[in-house]
Structure 1
Amino acid sequence: MSNLMDYLDWRGDLTFLSAPFNEIDNLIFAELAFVDFHGIVPGVGEGAGVVLRDAAARYFSDGRDKKLESSVLVPELIPAMLEKMCTSARFGDLILSCCEEHLDEARAEQFAAITVELPGRAAYLSFRGTDDTLVGWKEDFDMALLDTVPSQVRAVDYVKRAAARYRGWKLYLGGHSKGGNLAVYSAVNCGKSIQNRLLAVYNNDGPGFRETLLSREEHRRVADRIFTILPKSSVVGLLMEHEEDFIVVDSTQVGVLQHDGFSWCVKGPEFVRMDDLSGVETNDKALKEWVDSLNQEQRERFTDALFEVLSSTGAATLAEMRAQGAKTAAVMLKAMVGLDKETRDALNYAVSVLFIKSGAQSLLNDWKRENQRRRKKKEDLKESRGE
């Protein structure tokens, strides 16, 4: 099956004037937000944009492609995608602008966005999804538990400032994973005048929202322009459900690996459609039911406790946690000692889900082994006491 890399080969010679913007272009721009253009592409209000091929040349010359932490959420093919974009008539001459990156551990906020100028006074505002940082992962869990998280607020502000920069232009909003959530949230909250300029909003396998968003008039005004695209066995979304109709696409991968947009099957200017989400995983159900039983204060305590456990390793990213090997699981489980059994069980499940969804199989195996070792030690101790 063909993918977006093949699409770049097939349609790279077709400009947007000869072949209009489509859903595959959307995913390419969503993946582009993972590229570190900070310091290469100016921020909002910091001057004119930069031609994509020139920005890419600087990116590669700085060696930033070697620093990209690939994972299930950050595909390793992104630099190769960028190289193909540079040599294509369709993408090479596009202008990049309004680059913004923000990481705040204290507020558990990970945010990045970039804008792509398209012919005909249109622009695609692309929001980066969850990267390899633990801060980004905590914010994902916060999305499931809280009505609003810092990056959503920042996304709305970004849209308002970028829309002012491109006054009168038509706008696309989009992103992959958490970036898709930010695109939808900002579309709902950017104000009626900007909503009237929106052509489409793309949520590429990103989390949904808590129910409080769905009944709002602001959401109803843009609902018909929200496009949620999910692989046939989507497992992303953690505790949330999608409120929009969604498009189900085929993938060459299985399970959580289908979150990788480079595995989505492409035919011409469209994804290969599937009939339904019959293969969707439901392994988050137990955790969701437990969380739904908590009040707001208890939810906040849970996410704080989860992040404290993750941070106990001293690592800032999942890559650093993997590098520590079995030590990671031992340190994290030690940090859970003293918590009540219900919270401890929920944290144990949440951490397992995190490792599954991030593709950190080695960490998951270490976590299971260390759990088994501790349980056996406790049972042996009880037996020696004659309990």
Structure 2
Amino acid sequence: MNTIFEYLEWRGDLPVDKVPFNDVDAAILARFSYEPFDGIVPASFRQSVSVMQACHEMLNLPDLEKKVLVPKDDIRLIQLMSKSARFNKMKMSGFINDIDIERQTQFAAVVFELDGEGNYYVAYRGTDDTLIGWKEDLNMGFEFPVPGQVAALDYFESARMGLKEGTFIVGGHSKGGNLSIYASAFATCNCQDSILAIYNFDGPGFTEDLMLREQYLAIESKIHTYVPQFSVVGMILEHMEQYSVVSSNGAGIMQHELLTWEVNKDGFVCLDTVDKESRFIDHTLKDWIGSLSMEERSSFVDTVYRLLTSGDKKSVTQFGENKIGTANALLKTYSSLDDKTKRALRETFFKLVKSAGNTFTQKR
């Protein structure tokens, strides 16, 4: 199965002025936005570095393996991007990486100038390894807008003002896809007119109420949504827009990783529908979320986050570092919860089990 890595080897020598920018290119830049650009890519939209220069500086970082999501794959991606004539001359600017525990947000974005002629790609990073980033994702089930969505809109309008006049493609993976749609929908009319396309790669949807608003309807035709055959994150909330299902060589939830998606020389290898396990989870989660009040959703997310951050945990990675210590911290924190909170947590989990049973019965 051919993936983004093979695509970079096949098409890496073809600049975008020779072969037009396509959906796979958009996915590559969305995935590349996860790399550690701190101190390498300028925060200003008036200053920039090339992709090649950024890659060289990252490859020289002594602790690069600790700063990326999947060391083996990320280092290979950075190496291929540095050599690719299709990408390495693109200019990068406006990098921001903001993690705020108090505001419960994790937000990162960067701009790529595609061809030196005022055509830009605004890439919003999805959820990283931080627990606060995952909590913000869950907050979308009862809070609107979340701080990351507000930041995404501010960022896009700042980029529109700070860069020379041109056209924009906006995209992101996971939460970044959701932010791309939100920022595009609620941007001013002048900003919307400059948007050519919006990419959402396996990102959460929105509530039906939001998708019926005129702001969303104004940009709906520009949205390109892709999910893998086993999609969980991308099936959260609702999607009014059409979406394409991509073949992946990942196992289960690991298909969320863009580097596992199957490609050919011109685009993704698509299937007719997501698989039955994905549909089961989708229907179960929607039934479960629909059975909870906004107050119950908020209470459940806050309680789970409190449990997960017990023992001063701040990232998903830390759970694997001291399993016994983590388990003890979880039990200690759970024991400290008051009876009302414990009861609410049990009742919410019971509703999840009930929703799974309802879905199973309906599918028989």
| TM-score > 0.5 by shorter chain | yes
Give the match for residue 117 of structure 1: 113
Q: Is the 8 A contact 2:303 2:345 kept in 1?
A: no
| 1:229-378 → structure 2 map (5 Å cutoff) | 229-237=226-234, 239-279=236-276, 280-283=278-281, 285-286=283-284, 288-337=286-335, 338-340=339-341, 342-345=343-346
Secondary structure, aligned partner of 1:101? strand
Matches within 5 A, 1:118-133: 118-119=114-115, 120-133=117-130
Amino acid at match of 1:261: L
- Superposed counterparts of 1:219-238, under 5 Å: 219-237=216-234
What's 1:36 paired with?
36
| Equivalence for 2:360 | none
Question: For 1:42 and 1:23, how far apart are their aligned partners in 2?
Answer: 26
Greater shift after overlay, 261-270 or 75-84?
Answer: 75-84
Matching residue's letter, 2:345: R
Residue equivalent to 1:166? 163
Shift of 1:346: 5.9
Deviations 1:73-124 (A, max 9, x none): xx85122112111111111111011101100011110000011001132100
Following superposition, the deviation at residue 312 of structure 1 comes to 1.4
Distance in structure 2 (CA, Å) of the matches to 1:334 and 1:312: 8
Note closer, same or farther for the CA distance 1:18–1:102 as it changes in structure 2 (3 Å cut): same
Residue 82 of structure 1 aligns to a residue whose secondary structure is: helix
Matches within 5 A, 1:40-79: 40-45=40-45, 47-70=46-69, 76-79=72-75
- With the length of structure 2 as denominator, give the TM-score of the two structures: 0.89
Q: CA deviation at 1:236?
A: 1.5
Query: What secondary structure does 1:244 align onto?
Result: coil
Q: Give the structure 1 partner of residue 357 of structure 2.
A: none
CA, structure 1 residues 309+78, in 2 after alignment: closer, same or farther (shift >3 Å)? same
Q: Which runs of 4+ in 1 moved over 6 A?
A: 349-352
| Cα distance between partner residues in 1 of 2:333 and 2:348 | 11
- The DSSP-based 3-state class of the residue aligned with 1:151 is helix
Deviations 1:153-207 (A, max 9, x none): 0000000001112242100111111111111111111121111111110000111
Higher mean C-alpha displacement, 235-244 vs 146-155: 235-244
Inter-CA distance 58–127: structure 2 relative to 1 (3 Å threshold): same
Contact 1:231-1:248 within 8 A present in 2 as well:
yes
- Of residues 211, 227, 243, the one that matches 2:208 is 211
Contact 1:44 1:162 in 2 (8 A): no
Q: CA deviation at 1:331?
A: 2.4
- Counterpart residue type for residue 36 of structure 1: P
1:139 paired with 2:136, answer yes
> Unaligned 5+ residue runs, structure 1?
353-387
Instruction: Identify if the C-alpha distance between structure 1 residues 41 and 341 changes in structure 2 by more than 3 Å, giving closer, same or farther.
Output: closer
Deviations 1:235-257 (A, max 9, x none): 21474232211011111123111
Aligned to 2:165, what secondary structure does the other structure show? Answer: coil
Task: For residues 2-22 of structure 1, give each alpha carbon's deviation from its aligned partner in whole angstroms, at most 9, with x where no partner exists.
Answer: 001000000111011110000
The counterpart of 2:85, out of the listed 86, 89, 101, is 89
May I ask how many residue pairs the two structures share in their alignment?
Answer: 348
1:202/1:40 CA distance change after superposition, 3 Å = same
Counterpart secondary structure, 1:193? helix
Secondary structure of 1:257's counterpart equals helix
Change (3 A) 1:286 1:272: closer
Q: Distance in 1 between matches of 2:63 and 2:149?
A: 27
Instruction: Provide, for residues 14-53 of structure 1, a one-character-per-residue CA deviation record: whole Å limited to 9, x for no partner.
Output: 01111000011001100111011121111134x4210111
In structure 2, do the counterparts of structure 1 residues 349 and 203 end up closer, same or farther at CA, with 3 Å as the change threshold? farther
CA deviation string 1:218-251 (max 9, x = no partner): 1111000001101111121474232211011111
Q: Distance in 2 between matches of 1:145 and 1:130?
A: 18
Question: Per-residue deviation at 1:334?
Answer: 3.7
- More displaced, 236-245 or 314-323? 236-245
1:98 aligns with 2:97: no
- 1:70 is displaced (CA, Å) by 2.5
For 2:110, the aligned partner's letter is I
CA distance in 2, matches of 1:341, 1:351: 16
CA distance in 2, matches of 1:270, 1:138: 33
CA contact (8 A) 1:26 1:174 kept: yes
Match in the other structure for 2:362: none
CA distance in 2 between partners of 1:350 and 1:295 (Å): 12
Quote the RMSD (CA, aligned, Å): 2.3
Give the secondary structure class of the aligned counterpart of 1:157.
helix
1:209 deviation in Å?
Answer: 1.1
Q: d(CA) in 2 for partners of 1:351 and 1:109?
A: 26
1:281 Cα deviation after fit: 4.3
Partner of 1:16: 16
Specify the SS of the correspondent of 1:141: helix
- How far apart, in 2, do the equivalents of 1:4 and 1:194 lie? 31
Contact 2:225 2:242 (C-alpha < 8 Å) held by counterparts: yes
Q: Distance in 1 between matches of 2:300 and 2:105?
A: 17
CA contact (8 A) 1:126 1:174 kept: yes
1:361 alignment counterpart: none
